[in-house]
């Protein structure tokens, strides 16, 4: 038992340092190739390396293949190998679509409609292996077995929803990586409580990569995550909800992004999250609220003399933690 724990810790440490090295290398490569973008929430709008999420995805995939190798050749077991490989394919498909969007460029990339259509194939790997259990508990109704509807309808809807939803709440240094880290830390604890060690380890590997990336993405950012990051982590959230049979838990964690989607819909998904620069720091860019970032800016402007980008990010972390608490309370229900 102690040996298995030590090996799991080793996998997590490898994931962390591989991502640290790859992200650092990516920053140099991206800047050298001109793959950069302006940091819109800074007064002087400094140029920052783009698309750093590819280093995160490569690190996760490498670490998972290392884990599969260890299970196959050392532990001599193939339990959950099919699920892990399906998850890897899901992650790579999401990364590919996001990276294509990143290359095409901000405001010139894939339209929202095209992006949603292109995320449909991301759900296929989990659908074809019939991942998860078709029986779900619905509050006030009870347990319902959705049968074939679960893999053919509910699984694709979950993956498409989380993949595109996680992409909406972005644009501030450390926001996407930090929110992702909070969610996957929550997943790791949930899988520990529900006795699912293989998903606990994979959650820890992803968490390690997110924290490693955050070293360079935190304020002031040296690299932006890009859509390859947000689409990949979003798809991973949906996949873990299905693989771990914790749909209700994951849905509660995802409420901030659902709220973000509702707010964005008010502007027909045309509003931007970026703040407006003023003598009092950052302020909301529109009269109306079209994003949680706008609501946060409006609140902070009322209680602080000068609002910074870090204030917005930390406030949204706190908001996400509120739903983490609610999600764990749901496990006790």
Mean pLDDT across the chain: 93
Band of residue 143 on the pLDDT scale cut at 50, 70, 90 = confident
| 3-state SS class at 195 | coil
Write the burial class of residue 2 (CB in 10 Å: 0-12 exposed, 13-18 middle, 19+ buried).
exposed
Please report where in the chains the tokens 């659902």 appear, as a residue. 258
Alpha helices per DSSP H over the chain = 2-32, 53-73, 81-104, 112-118, 124-128, 149, 155-166, 175-193, 197-217, 227-243, 247-253, 255-265, 292-303, 309-332
Phi, psi at 12, each rounded to 5°: -65, -45
Please report where in the chains the tokens 């196959």 appear, as a residue. 72
Whole-angstrom distance, CA of residue 120 vs CA of residue 124: 7
* 14 has pLDDT over 90: yes
| Least confident span in 37-46, 61-70, 113-122 | 113-122
Give residue 142's pLDDT: 72
* 1 has pLDDT over 90: no
Three state DSSP letters for 76-111: CCCCCHHHHHHHHHHHHHHHHHHHHHHHHCCCCCCC
Band of residue 237 on the pLDDT scale cut at 50, 70, 90 = very high
Whole-angstrom distance, CA of residue 85 vs CA of residue 291: 35
> Which residues are 137's β-sheet partners?
143
* 112 has pLDDT over 70: no
Q: What is the mean pLDDT of residues 77-102?
A: 94
Give residue 280's pLDDT: 75
| Least confident span in 5-14, 55-64, 223-232 | 5-14
Percent of the chain topping pLDDT 90: 81
Angle (CA) 144-150-151 rounded to 5° is 155
| Least confident span in 5-19, 35-49, 105-119, 179-193 | 105-119
Q: How many CB atoms lie within 10 A of CB 30?
A: 22
Band of residue 119 on the pLDDT scale cut at 50, 70, 90 = confident
Give residue 323's pLDDT: 98
Q: What is the mean pLDDT of residues 161-186?
A: 97
- The set of residues, in sequence order, having a beta carbon less than 8 Å from that of 229 and lying 6+ positions away, is 52, 53, 54, 56, 57, 98, 176, 177, 213
- Which structure tokens are listed for 110? 């894939």
Give residue 67's pLDDT: 94
Are 278 and 284 a contacting pair, CB within 8 Å? no
């Amino acid at each position: 038992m102690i040996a298995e724990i030590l090996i799991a810790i080793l996998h997590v440490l490898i994931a962390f340092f591989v991502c640290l090295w790859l992200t650092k290398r990516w920053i140099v490569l991206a800047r050298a190739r001109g793959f950069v973008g302006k940091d819109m929430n800074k007064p002087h709008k400094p140029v920052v390396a783009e698309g750093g999420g590819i280093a995160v995805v490569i690190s996760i995939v490498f670490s998972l293949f290392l884990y599969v190798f260890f299970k196959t050749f050392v532990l001599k077991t193939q339990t959950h190998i099919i699920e892990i490989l399906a998850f890897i394919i899901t992650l790579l498909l999401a990364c590919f679509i996001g990276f294509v969007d990143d290359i095409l460029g901000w405001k010139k990339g894939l339209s929202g409609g095209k992006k949603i259509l292109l995320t449909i194939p991301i759900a296929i790997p989990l659908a074809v292996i019939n991942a998860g259990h078709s029986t779900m508990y619905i509050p006030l109704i009870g347990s319902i077995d959705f049968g074939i509807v679960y893999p053919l309808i509910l699984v694709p809807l979950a993956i498409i929803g989380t993949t595109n939803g996680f992409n909406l709440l972005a644009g501030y240094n450390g926001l996407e990586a930090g929110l992702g880290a909070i969610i996957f830390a929550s997943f790791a604890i949930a899988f520990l409580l529900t006795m699912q060690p293989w998903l606990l380890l994979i959650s820890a590997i992803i968490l390690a990569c997110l924290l490693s990336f955050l070293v360079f993405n935190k304020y002031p950012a040296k690299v932006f995550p890009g859509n390859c990051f947000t689409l990949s982590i979003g798809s991973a959230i949906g996949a873990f909800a299905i693989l771990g049979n914790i749909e209700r838990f994951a849905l509660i964690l995802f409420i901030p992004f659902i709220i973000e989607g509702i707010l964005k819909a008010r502007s027909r998904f045309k509003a931007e999250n970026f703040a407006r620069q003023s003598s009092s720091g950052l302020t909301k860019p529109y009269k109306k609220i079209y994003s949680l970032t706008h609501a946060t800016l409006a609140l902070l402007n009322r209680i602080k003399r000068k609002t910074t980008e870090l204030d917005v990010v930390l406030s949204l972390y706190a908001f996400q933690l509120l739903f983490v608490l609610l999600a764990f309370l749901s496990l006790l229900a």
